[in-house]
């Protein structure tokens, strides 16, 4: 569903004039659209690598010219020009111009700042910037007012079978393409460079563009977005703005899904006398307008659109001349299909690179090397039994939190996102692997793909760091951490087309159960007996980390009880040093069923201890008398009134 506030785009049309002093500067018109992020300051300038809105062809725009902010609530775009950097040699004019209705001319915006509404424009250098709706379609093309008596359609396979008439020319135009592609950082920059290649490879083309049928465009409508275009000067397309044929684009992209060539007739007699088919633009008389539209085959609804005109009016040409035109333009279809294939491949590699970056953020740096070795990665993903240390951290009551902050969902989501990021980054910073996000929880583990000598210690340090960084969450009982260590199956356990590492085994389930008990005990971190033992071995003096016994607990789904321990930082001890032995002795009294003595200890020495209160709740449930079948194990009850 679309937002009630329509999104906006900033259209940039740059008219570059030929400069006799600079032979490399060729007259050309460039156009593109940039989506605007609501209420975000976006940088505008010439630097493609750093700017959100980049116009690299206009040397009258500085590398970082202005900051623009789209405010949907006000329906206005604020443009603030940056001052010229001191000491910058030969700086651009650095002026932002707006149209003065009274003076009927462009004037400099006061203090370099202006407000722009929908349909309004501002000018910098040789570029006009206009604010549009993102759903706003291109204006009608003159050729759509007439007919295309010659239409040719070719699939990619059919075009591959057609030999190049002049392969050397096409290769010369594309010889620098590999280096260009390697330097490209954004999709828009890729489109821009490809269109330059198109203009070099197709000298008879007057204009070329990347067009797109909007994703929400129904079949009954002929809407078309002009994403990026390049127009030669002194051509029909450079006058009044380039307008591709919507009929041709929709036919190629939505109906036929193959490269389509249309040759148009400006003479209504070519339509068999159909009086509604006329063309008001007289400049096309005596020539044949043509266009090739080649759709991407990746389902994106993008297409490469190339247009031009050839001498001779179509209806006055004999069939041999018409066939010669089509044969020549089929070569352009072949080149277009080749370039589209290269764009698709480049975008696919770029997206895989971005996915690789995402995976890297979930893996510690020590494992990044495997991402560059597919064969080794595939071998690693084969499920195997490993000695795994697991950490599970959960943000509880997420639904309640979201409901309570329904009026500020973005802010509350940002808070949740920051907490999840804290968990994940803390795990990977300590050589752990993020096994995935389970709703508002994170599972991390150590010991895959190879055993780690200090994996339990690393997991314990990660848990203490998470508890410290999410102090408000843990103190309020809305966040808990569980850690266990044992044998589990690790590898790709789900879909085999995904490089996702997961775990299977009782040790993983126990981690979830221990984390759930943190709320009942009122502590941030609970670990298993094996983890407690290894923590004591890693830090025998307890100068950094300590554990204390909580009792023998029964976890859901496990036939036998297990010993649970609280893990905490020595800097914020749960039990003072001088009471540690007394605490252990008190838990022993509880386990042995000596509840009268245990109760006295808890109510005199540990009155404010949340674990002590949990043990008291267990004893109070049976009037402080152990059940007949008491074996020392229990299910820790949550405080009254808690969920």
Instruction: Please list, in sequence order, all residues whose beta carbon lies within 8 angstroms of the beta carbon of residue 194, skipping any fewer than 6 positions away.
Output: 210, 304, 339, 342, 343
For residue 386, pLDDT over 50 is answered with yes
In a domain, 294, yes or no: yes
Same domain, 129 and 272: no
Same domain, 40 and 50: yes
Top-confidence residue, 348 or 431: 431
Q: Quote the number of domains for the chain.
A: 4
For residue 268, pLDDT over 60 is answered with no
In a domain, 334, yes or no: yes
DSSP β-bridge partners for residue 307: 207, 291
In a domain, 361, yes or no: no
For residue 345, pLDDT over 90 is answered with no
**CATH at 263:** 3.30.450.40
Domain end marker among 525, 553, 574: 574
Q: How many CA atoms lie within 13 A of 176 on its CB side?
A: 11
pTM of this structure: 0.58
Ranges of beta strands (E only) in 312-410 are: 384-395
Same domain, 579 and 548: no
- Condensed to tens digits (0 to 9), the pLDDT of residues 457-476 reads 999 999 999 988 887 765 65
The whole-angstrom separation of Cα 43 and Cα 65 is 8
The gap from C-alpha 602 to its chain's centroid, in whole angstroms, comes to: 53
In a domain, 1, yes or no: no
Same domain, 567 and 579: no
Domain end marker among 520, 554, 574: 574
Same domain, 152 and 276: yes
Domain end marker among 77, 109, 133: 133
Q: What pLDDT, on the 0 to 100 scale, is given for residue 165?
A: 84
Q: Give the model's confidence band at 366: pLDDT under 50 very low, under 70 low, under 90 confident, else very high.
A: low
In a domain, 359, yes or no: no
List for the chain the helix, strand, coil content (%; round to 5): 35, 25, 35
For residue 282, pLDDT over 80 is answered with no
115 and 128 Cβ atoms separated by less than 8 Å: no
Same domain, 611 and 474: no
In a domain, 360, yes or no: no
Same domain, 586 and 631: yes
Q: Give the model's confidence band at 271: pLDDT under 50 very low, under 70 low, under 90 confident, else very high.
A: very low
Q: Exposed e or buried b for every residue in 23-33, given b needs 16+ CB within 10 A?
A: eeeeebbbbbb
In a domain, 362, yes or no: no
Same domain, 461 and 569: yes
**Domain span including residue 175:** 142-352
Same domain, 221 and 296: yes
Q: Give the model's confidence band at 281: pLDDT under 50 very low, under 70 low, under 90 confident, else very high.
A: very low
Cis peptide before 5 (omega within 30 of 0): no
Q: What angle do CA 546, 549, 551 make, to 5 degrees?
A: 160
Tell me what the mean pLDDT of segment 397-422 comes to.
60
The whole-angstrom separation of Cα 423 and Cα 411 is 19
Same domain, 347 and 393: no
**CATH at 390:** 3.30.70.1230
Per the prediction, the chain carries an average pLDDT of 83
The whole-angstrom separation of Cα 11 and Cα 33 is 4
Exposed, middle or buried by CB within 10 Å (0-12, 13-18, 19+), for 593? Answer: middle
In a domain, 358, yes or no: no
Tell me what the mean pLDDT of segment 230-242 comes to.
77
**CATH at 89:** 2.60.200.20
Same domain, 564 and 451: yes
The torsion angles phi and psi of 156, rounded to 5 degrees, stand at -60, -40
| Two tokens, residue 315 | 């209806």
Same domain, 288 and 235: yes
The gap from C-alpha 439 to its chain's centroid, in whole angstroms, comes to: 19
């Amino acid at each position: 569903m679309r937002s009630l506030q329509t999104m906006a785009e900033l259209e940039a049309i740059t008219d570059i004039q030929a400069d006799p002093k600079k032979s490399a500067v060729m007259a050309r018109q460039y156009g593109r659209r940039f989506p605007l992020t609501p209420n975000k300051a976006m940088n505008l300038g010439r630097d493609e690598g750093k700017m959100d809105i980049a116009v690299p062809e206009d040397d009258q725009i500085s590398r970082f010219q202005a900051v623009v902010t789209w405010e949907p609530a006000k329906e206005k775009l604020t443009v603030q020009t940056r001052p010229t950097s001191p000491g910058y040699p030969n700086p651009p004019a650095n002026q932002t111009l707006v149209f003065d209705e009274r003076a009927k001319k462009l004037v400099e915006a006061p203090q370099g700042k202006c407000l722009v509404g929908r349909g309004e424009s501002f000018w910098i250098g040789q570029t006009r910037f206009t604010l549009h709706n993102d759903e706003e379609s291109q204006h009608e093309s003159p050729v759509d007012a007439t007919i295309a008596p010659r239409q040719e359609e070719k699939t990619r396979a059919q075009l591959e079978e057609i030999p190049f008439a002049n392969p050397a020319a096409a290769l010369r135009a594309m010889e620098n393409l590999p280096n260009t592609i390697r330097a490209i950082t954004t999709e828009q920059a890729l489109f821009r460079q490809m269109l330059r290649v198109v203009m070099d490879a197709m000298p008879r083309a007057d204009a070329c563009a990347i067009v797109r049928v909007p994703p929400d465009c129904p079949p009954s409508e002929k809407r078309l977005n002009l994403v990026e275009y390049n127009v030669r000067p002194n051509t029909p397309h450079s006058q009044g703005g380039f307008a591709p044929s919507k009929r041709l684009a929709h036919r190629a992209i939505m109906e036929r899904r193959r490269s389509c060539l249309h040759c148009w007739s400006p003479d209504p007699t070519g339509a068999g006398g159909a009086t509604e088919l006329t063309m008001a633009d007289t400049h096309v008389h005596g020539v044949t307008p043509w266009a090739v539209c080649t759709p991407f085959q990746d389902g994106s609804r993008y297409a490469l659109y190339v247009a031009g005109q050839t001498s001779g009016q179509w209806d006055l040409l004999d069939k041999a001349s018409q066939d010669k035109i089509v044969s020549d333009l089929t070569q352009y279809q072949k080149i277009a299909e080749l370039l589209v294939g290269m764009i698709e491949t480049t975008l696919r590699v770029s997206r895989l690179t971005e996915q690789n970056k995402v995976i890297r953020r979930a893996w510690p740096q020590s494992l990044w090397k495997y991402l560059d070795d597919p064969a080794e990665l595939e071998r690693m993903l084969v499920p195997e039994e490993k000695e795994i240390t697991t950490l599970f951290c959960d943000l509880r009551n997420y639904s309640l939190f979201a409901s309570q902050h329904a009026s500020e969902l973005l802010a509350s989501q940002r808070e949740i996102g920051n907490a999840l990021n804290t968990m994940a980054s803390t795990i990977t910073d300590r050589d752990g692997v993020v096994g995935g996000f389970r709703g508002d929880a994170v599972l991390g583990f150590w010991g895959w793909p190879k055993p780690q000598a200090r994996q339990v210690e690393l997991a314990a340090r990660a848990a203490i760091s998470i508890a410290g960084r999410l102090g408000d969450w843990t103190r309020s009982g809305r966040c808990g951490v569980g850690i266990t260590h044992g044998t589990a199956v690790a590898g790709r356990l789900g879909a085999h087309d995904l490089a996702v590492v997961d775990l299977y085994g009782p040790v993983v389930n126990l981690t979830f159960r221990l984390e759930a008990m943190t709320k009942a005990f009122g502590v941030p971190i609970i670990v298993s007996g094996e983890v407690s033992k290894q923590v004591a071995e890693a830090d025998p003096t307890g100068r950094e980390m300590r554990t204390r016994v909580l009792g023998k607990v029964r976890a859901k789904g496990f036939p036998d009880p297990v010993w649970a321990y609280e893990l905490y930082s020595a800097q914020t001890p749960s039990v003072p040093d001088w009471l540690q032995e007394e605490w252990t002795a008190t838990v022993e009294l509880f386990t042995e069923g000596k509840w009268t003595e245990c109760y006295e200890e808890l109510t005199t020495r540990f009155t404010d201890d949340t674990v002590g209160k949990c043990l008291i709740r267990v004893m109070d449930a049976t009037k402080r008398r152990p059940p007949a079948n008491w074996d020392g194990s229990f299910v820790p009850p949550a405080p009254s009134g808690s969920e």
